[in-house]
Amino acid sequence: LTVDGVGKVANITHHGFDNGFGIGGYLYIDAIPMVDVDIEAIMLLSPYEFSFSNQIPGSAINNQKFGWADFSGYFTLQKKLFKFSIPLLAKTKLSAGAGVNVHSSIPMISQDMMASVMGGEDNLASGSLDTDELITYLKDNKVSDTGFHIQTGLQFKILMLDSFLYYRQVFADNVIPDAKGFGSLNLRLGMGF
């Protein structure tokens, strides 16, 4: 992001993020003939660093920390590809499926955000953060999108314990900044009835 004018933020650099963490829950229904239904909700959090500099030499502020948060919901129909079991111990099933997803995340740091939460463009160099304005800005500028996904994976059942190991490829714009989608490898643990 480049903005002309002395004393204004001229460049904001996002240093990327990885190794975020999340928590979620799921409901897996395999009582319907032909397909299984998988409903999942996940909240992801990831800290990231950013830097910004003014056009005034020596005014750079490097490696400031902020956070990114995303809430996602997934609805997937899955079909069993094959199944095998170990007598008296475990059942394993390979399945593949597709579905729809919804996402809502907070925006990444930008010139507009900084001006809004620090009292205007003229206060960027010496302004202080207004927490109420930050909360309002994040609510008013949340990034929302819908998309679709495909996934494949293994389900392991040992007595009433149920676990899934699967790969999911999501196709949705703007969930991850400047990307049209993302892949994820997931391990879920649950209780089957």
pLDDT digits (tens, 9 = 90+) for 125-139: 656 667 788 888 888
Give the pLDDT confidence score for residue 1 in this predicted structure: 24
The residue count for the chain: 193
Q: Six-digit token pair at 173?
A: 């714009």
Q: What percent of the chain has pLDDT over 70?
A: 78
Asked if 64 and 53 touch (Cβ cutoff 8 Å), the reply is no
Give the pLDDT confidence score for residue 63 in this predicted structure: 66
Give the pLDDT confidence score for residue 71 in this predicted structure: 93
Output the furthest CA–CA distance in the chain (Å, rounded). Answer: 74
pLDDT reading at 173 higher than 50: yes
Classify 123 as helix, strand or coil.
helix
> When comparing pLDDT for 155 and 176, which is higher?
155
Give the pLDDT confidence score for residue 127 in this predicted structure: 60
pLDDT reading at 3 higher than 70: no
pLDDT reading at 2 higher than 60: no
> When comparing pLDDT for 119 and 191, which is higher?
191
Give the pLDDT confidence score for residue 122 in this predicted structure: 64
Q: 10-24, 76-90, 93-107: lowest mean pLDDT where?
A: 10-24
Spatial neighbors of 71 by CB under 8 A, at least 6 apart, are: 41, 42, 43, 44, 103, 104, 105
Q: Could you please report the per-residue DSSP string of 130-153?
A: -HHHHHHHHHHT-EEEEEEEEEEE
Cα separation values, 163 from 29, 97, 99, 152, 185, Å: 14, 17, 20, 14, 13
Average pLDDT over the chain, rounded to an integer: 80
pLDDT reading at 112 higher than 60: yes
Q: Six-digit token pair at 95?
A: 């399945």
Residues 29-85 have pLDDT tens digits of 988 888 999 999 999 888 887 777 655 555 556 667 788 888 999 999 999 999 888
Q: Six-digit token pair at 145?
A: 């999108």
> When comparing pLDDT for 143 and 121, which is higher?
143
Cα separation values, 45 from 95, 116, 126, 137, 165, Å: 29, 23, 29, 18, 21
